[in-house]
Amino acid sequence: MEQQGQLRIGIDIGGTKIEGIVLTETGEVIDLARRPTPAEFYEEALIEVTGLITRLQKGRRLKVGIGTPGALAAPSETIKNSNSTCFNGKPLKRDIEQQLGYEVRMENDANCFALSEAHYGAGRDCRSVFGVIIGTGTGGGIVVDGKLHTGPNRIAGEWGHNCIPASVRDSINADRKCYCGRWNCIETVLNGAGLRRTFTEAGGAEIDAAEIARLAAEGDQPALACLKLYCRQLAQCVATVINVLDPEMVVLGGGLSNIQQIYKLVPKILPEYVFTDNLLTRISPPRFGDASGARGAACLWSLEE
């Protein structure tokens, strides 16, 4: 039987549900619970999170890690950029700790995804992993030697708000305004809305990314051309990160990571844009998919702590 000191709790606060797990040192989930997210009411959400943690503790004192859809603003440690807007501007970490009476750790969901895949998933045998989110938004997390790198501004991995390379700008019809207030962020091209816009700018219908991928798989030529362009844009943007970090693996997550053509096309295109004659960085789908959030949150605590 696992000793209690080897167990950790991971909580993933999503837009529609809050998921909690108890994780063993080998990455096995031995308990799981879910509650709906009261996305409009902060106090209710706080009660749901703390109640879920207490239910998973079962009278024990296990380490707790929490993944959020937003990020912790430095130095106030209030939540910013959360899709569940009731959390924005709130000291969620502090309030949870006050309710529970002990320390918890908290990071954004992209960082938790990267930790999950680096510890137990596709990147478990790699020293360095860049975890990428391509879905509603475009984010990422960096893990080196099993440890999350966040940086003094707590923005490490936020490649989605770098400006697109000039080669990508040449492939779109017009400048794109990002929700962050800047123009031509990587997110405006690589998220789901960006893929849809690329398709419609080429004369395609107003359909979602999954439908574009389905049509491309069936041989529809406009959809296939759009998806090939998207894979080239993804390769061009990922190459800028590889040239800086030189990770052993790039693991893709988020809704668009389910597009299988990505894993055939992007590795073929990447060598054109990475500064090496022999590209060794691997591109991989995630092992855990949507289950990565809570698992990675538990990994905010190392087994030695």
The type of residue at 51 is G
Quick one: pLDDT at residue 72?
81
d(CA 181, CA 178): 6
Give the burial class of 28: count Cβ atoms within 10 A of its Cβ; 0-12 exposed, 13-18 middle, 19 or more buried.
Answer: exposed
DSSP labels, 246-297: --SEEEEESGGGG-THHHHHHHHHGGGTSS-SS---EEE--SSGGGHHHHHH
Contact 150, 156 (CB under 8 A): yes
If DSSP codes are grouped into helix, strand and coil, which group holds residue 88?
strand
pLDDT tens digits along 208-225: 999 999 999 999 999 999
**CATH code of the domain made up of 4-112+291-298:** 3.30.420.40
Quick one: pLDDT at residue 86?
85
State which CATH number among 3.30.1490.190, 3.30.450.20, 3.30.420.40, 3.40.1260.10 fits the domain covering 122-286: 3.30.420.40
- Tell me where in the chain the CATH 3.30.420.40 domain(s) lie: 4-112+291-298, 122-286
29-36 vs 249-253, strand pairing mode = unpaired
Angle at 213 between CA 208 and CA 217, to 5 degrees: 150
- The pTM of the full predicted model, rounded to 2 decimals, is 0.91
Residue stretches of the chain with pLDDT short of 70: 1-5, 83, 290-291
Strand stretches in the chain, DSSP E: 8-13, 17-23, 29-36, 63-68, 71-73, 78-80, 105-108, 128-134, 138-144, 147-149, 249-253, 282-284
Distance of CA 250 to the CA centre of its chain: 12
The type of residue at 32 is L
Q: Is 177 left (phi over 0), alpha (psi -120 to 50) or beta?
A: beta
